[in-house]
């Protein structure tokens, strides 16, 4: 592999190497023959694993690291603060520095075929599904994921050479506009990343521009039940024409009976005869009016039927077989943090999910409600103050129907928490005013104490939000194991 002007053996330094995406990119570069090092102020299991694999990681970010390693390229995350000493030194010395999304874009230019999975929700699950279907067909892509895959114990999978790359394409700060695709997918479009987009129209415009980097003979896979995708599709021809590019071939997917009115023809891939057993969907996939395969999912919810259809469509365009789709999805239990089973506590199942946006929250709650649990106790932590301010009423509407919601304070890793004008307490008050049942807890210990008073065998503890609150699932499972005398 030749990453845009960097010969194999060149040195790449990652500032913020401990992040889920950055650590994965570092591994990919290292696997393809580049010399890699990096720094991160927060050492973790991920950084330990990098060191064990042969990649040096420095905890202190200072110019001595750059002097010692002498990189040809420095990659940094968007979370790095201005004035970072490693970036400052590198730029002063004329060393090329690029943001993470630019480097990921460079990678997409280094593979013959690239499948990029975009969308406000479902990117991680769909990307993982695509990869597993391809692998089941004997096609081994390099994969870059925004979460760990239990099957690989990593957020990346190293494929056979530089023929095919499968990656998530995130719209945060419009980073996905850097990524070349031969097959692109848009799972859905919703209003999110409110610190980057002033309204839904700006989000739609960004997804329309995402089409600009699809190759002339490429494909675009879209869900046919999403009005915002329809609006993005209507904008794409003008963007493509300005670049003297024809429109990519559009492949539609959908679930029978829920198509948007403006999609007038039957989707290219659609689910029919959908039946749920304990929340898990069984369905037939039709393609061009004929039975393509039968699917039995191991992860719950109608939203995962849609994710599966998008994955099947993308993988089939690269030669995956119907049997491979059936077999791969029959054993797929999800990526880490996506309806992940963590163990039991007081006889109740513990499941964690990244659902931090109101729409994802609603879909996850609906999936859980169709499963065989006596009671569902929701532990919830919203992510970022600006998102809560912009989508406040949507959070309330999504959580009002719950039997009980135990709130932790809003989590943020990119905002100044001082002088914030909103709190989880405000969501709690509004939920209760509308007839719901929510409580605020100042600490994780208080949440555990509250769970102790209500949780029984046959219940579900559903922990929703960022990693900060999802870690409580591991903690509860460990407490239960210690009680049983099992070493952890």
In this prediction, residues 395-407 reach a mean pLDDT of 98
What confidence category does residue 488 fall into, taking pLDDT thresholds of 50, 70 and 90? low
Q: Which residues have CB under 8 Å from 309's CB, separation 6+?
A: 223, 253, 254, 255, 269, 270, 271, 285
Q: Which residue has the higher pLDDT, 419 or 224?
A: 224
Round to whole Å and give the CA distance between 7 and 11. 9
| Domain 111-331: which CATH number of 3.40.1190.10, 3.40.50.300, 3.40.50.970, 3.40.50.12280 | 3.40.1190.10
pLDDT score of 261 more than 70: no
pLDDT at position 262? 63
Round to whole Å and give the CA distance between 379 and 360. 15
pLDDT score of 362 more than 70: yes
pLDDT score of 235 more than 70: yes
Q: Write out the CATH class of domain 340-483.
A: alpha beta
Q: Which residues have CB under 8 Å from 286's CB, separation 6+?
A: 269, 270, 271, 272, 292
Round to whole Å and give the CA distance between 375 and 403. 8
Mean pLDDT of all residues belonging to the chain: 95
Percentage of residues in the chain with pLDDT exceeding 70? 98
Percentage of residues in the chain with pLDDT exceeding 90? 88
Domain segments of the chain: what residues?
11-101, 111-331, 340-483
End-to-end C-alpha distance for the chain, whole angstroms:
42
Shared fold status for 11-101 and 111-331? no
* 408 in Cβ contact with 465 (< 8 Å): yes
| Domain 11-101: which CATH number of 1.10.8.350, 3.60.20.10, 3.30.379.10, 3.40.50.720 | 3.40.50.720
What confidence category does residue 419 fall into, taking pLDDT thresholds of 50, 70 and 90? confident
Give this prediction's pTM: 0.93
């Amino acid at each position: 592999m030749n990453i845009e002007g960097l010969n194999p053996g060149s040195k790449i330094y990652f500032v913020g190497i401990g992040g889920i995406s950055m650590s994965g990119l570092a591994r990919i570069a290292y696997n393809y023959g580049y010399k890699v090092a990096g720094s991160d102020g927060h050492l973790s299991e991920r950084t330990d694993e990098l060191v064990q694999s042969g990649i040096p990681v420095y905890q202190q970010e200072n110019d001595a690291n750059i002097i010692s390693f002498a990189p040809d390229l420095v990659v940094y995350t968007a979370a790095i603060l201005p004035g970072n000493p490693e970036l400052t030194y590198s730029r002063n010395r004329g060393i090329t520095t690029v943001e993470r999304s630019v480097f990921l874009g460079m990678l997409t230019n280094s593979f013959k075929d690239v499948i990029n999975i975009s969308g406000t929700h479902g990117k991680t699950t769909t990307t993982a599904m695509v990869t597993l279907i391809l692998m089941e067909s004997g096609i081994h892509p390099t994969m870059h994921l925004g979460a760990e895959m239990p099957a690989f114990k990593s957020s990346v999978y190293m494929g056979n050479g530089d023929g095919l790359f499968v990656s998530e394409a995130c719209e945060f700060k419009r980073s996905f506009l850097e990524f070349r695709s031969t097959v692109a997918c848009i799972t859905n479009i919703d209003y999110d990343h409110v610190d980057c987009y002033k309204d839904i129209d700006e989000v739609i415009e960004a997804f329309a521009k995402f089409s600009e980097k699809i190759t002339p003979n490429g494909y675009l896979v879209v869900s046919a039940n999403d009005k915002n995708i329809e609006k993005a599709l209507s904008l794409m021809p003008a963007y493509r024409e300005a670049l003297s590019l024809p429109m990519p071939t559009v492949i539609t997917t959908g679930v029978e009976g829920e198509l948007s009115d403006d999609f007038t023809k039957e989707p290219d891939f659609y689910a029919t005869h959908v039946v749920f057993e304990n929340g898990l969907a069984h369905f037939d996939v039709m393609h061009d009016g004929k039975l393509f395969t039968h699917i039995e999912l191991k992860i719950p919810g109608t939203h995962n039927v849609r994710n599966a259809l998008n994955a099947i469509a993308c993988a089939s365009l690269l030669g995956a077989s119907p049997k491979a789709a059936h077999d791969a999805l029959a054993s797929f239990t999800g990526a880490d943090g996506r309806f992940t089973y963590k163990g039991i506590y007081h006889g109740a199942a513990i499941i964690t999910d990244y659902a931090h946006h109101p729409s994802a929250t609603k879909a996850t709650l609906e999936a859980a409600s169709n499963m065989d649990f006596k009671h569902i106790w929701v532990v919830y932590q919203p992510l970022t103050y600006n998102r809560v301010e912009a989508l406040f009423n949507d959070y309330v509407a999504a959580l009002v129907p719950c039997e009980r919601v135990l709130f932790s304070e809003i989590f943020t890793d990119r905002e100044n928490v001082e002088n914030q004008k909103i709190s989880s307490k405000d969501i709690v008050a509004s939920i209760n005013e509308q007839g719901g049942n929510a409580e605020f807890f100042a600490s994780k210990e208080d949440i555990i104490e509250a769970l102790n008073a209500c949780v029984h065998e046959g219940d579900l503890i559903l922990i929703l939000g960022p990693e900060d609150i999802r870690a409580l699932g591991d903690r509860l499972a460990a407490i239960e194991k210690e009680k049983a005398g099992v070493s952890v």
